[in-house]
Amino acid sequence: MVRFLSPEWIAALDAAAGEAAVPGGVRLTIQQIVTDDDGGGGDVRYHLVVDGGRLRINPGEAERADLTLVQTREVAAALSRGELNAQQALEAGRLKLRGDIGHLAREGKALTALADVFAAVRVATTY
């Protein structure tokens, strides 16, 4: 079991990402910022990179993100567990987007192909 948002969890995401079949020609970097809503551990930053037919999850700040998603730990956990989807979180103002949303829309079909790549990590995560 890995603890949600821990360095080990991010490494597990990256290991799962390495197994993903990503359509070629897609280039996208999404920065995730999870804010400390309980005062316990500080903000967590990691980023997803799709490039050259590969998917990677890296800890820390992206050098250049196409899109940045900002949410609290509570929202991030609900999204990860599938209790909340991004559309619902956006509509409720619980998920903030910054950057090139059009780029995300253009590459969205490729990202839907990755929907279950992290399923095994989700099952092995403690929240």
Find, among 59, 9, 5, 53, the residue nearest to 28 by Cα: 53
Mind listing the pLDDT tens digit for each residue in 57-112? 999 999 999 999 999 999 999 999 999 998 999 999 999 999 998 888 888 777 77
Domain 2-126: CATH architecture, name and number where available: 2-Layer Sandwich (3.30)
pLDDT at 21 over 80: yes
Residue 11: the pLDDT is 98
**Secondary structure of 15-29 in the HEC alphabet?**
HHHCCCCCCCCCCEE
pTM over 0.95: no
pLDDT band at 39 (very low <50, low <70, confident <90, very high): low
Q: Is the dihedral of CA 119, 82, 79, 116 positive or negative?
A: positive
